[in-house]
Structure 1
Amino acid sequence: MTSLALTTDETRGARIVVSIQGDLDMHAAGDLHNEAGDLLTTHPLMIMDLSGITFCDSSGYNALLRLRRRAGEAGGQLVLAAPPPTVSRLLALTGAEEVFDVYSSRAEALAAHPARDVA
């Protein structure tokens, strides 16, 4: 049983905003990768609100990196918003804050990546 929940908060054009809550660990990483990966096929710009993450291990970190690659392969991007201090520290220690667009709040991420309606 996974201890992580992914919720779709908004979809508009190519952009999707999702929230994740719970533990991003080895038990949840595969489910997150599959669920979010499926969403990336129709919405290649994903803003992921991490404020609800209570724990993140190396499996969870790996899932985020794999999703970033998958978004890039789809011509899109994975944007991280509101990471809790432990996740921010993990991103800083590994240098991943240089490869992800990371914003301290969802509002900042939304402002930096506005939705564009598909024509």
Structure 2
Amino acid sequence: MAERGMTDTGHTEQVGRLSVVAAATDGIRVLTVAGEIDHHTGDQLRDALDTTGTARPRVVIDMHQVTFMDSSGINILITVYQDVTAAGGWLRLAAPTDSVQRVLQLVGADTLIDCHPTLREALVP
């Protein structure tokens, strides 16, 4: 990523069909997710999204490389959204693929969680 102020934390996880790369920019935690989010890979995403003990967490999930997401992924996103907003922070999704955007729309999650067409737009305070 060539975003200004972006710091790679060097934390990359890959289990089966999912990879999660964590970075930070201007106090915003950015997770770049690639592959499939389902019941087999959900725990990996949930662990990467853990904000326990973080005051006012600000999180952006870059989803431009997510090829599939089922109800497990939706449940994780909604739970994280609730946890982050309860702590006074926010969760945003950046560049969800058409198939992921469709799933978000079908269950109404796109009305709950801010979705942005690009990572750059999701990072704007």
Higher-RCO chain (CA-CA 8 Å, sequence separation at least 6)? 1
The amino acid of 2:17's aligned partner reads S
Runs of 4 or more off by more than 3 Å in structure 1?
A: none
2:59 maps to 1:65 = no
Is this contact kept in 2: 1:40–1:74, CA < 8 A?
no
TM-superposed CA distance for 1:6, in Å, is 1.2
Q: Which runs of 5+ in 2 are unaligned?
A: 1-14
2:104 maps to 1:88 = no
Measure the CA separation in 2 of the matches of 1:98 and 1:110.
18
Q: Which runs of 5+ in 1 are unaligned?
A: 114-119
Q: What TM-score, normalized by structure 1, do the two folds share?
A: 0.83
The RMSD of aligned alpha carbons is 1.9
TM-superposed CA distance for 1:9, in Å, is 2.8
TM-superposed CA distance for 1:10, in Å, is 2.2
Measure the CA separation in 2 of the matches of 1:70 and 1:99.
13
Higher strand proportion (structure 1 or 2): 2
Q: Give the length in aligned residue pairs.
A: 111
TM-superposed CA distance for 1:51, in Å, is 0.6
Q: Identity rate of aligned residues, in percent?
A: 33
2:120 maps to 1:76 = no
Aligned position for 2:23: 9
The amino acid of 1:47's aligned partner reads V
Give the counterpart of 2:38 among 9, 12, 25: 25
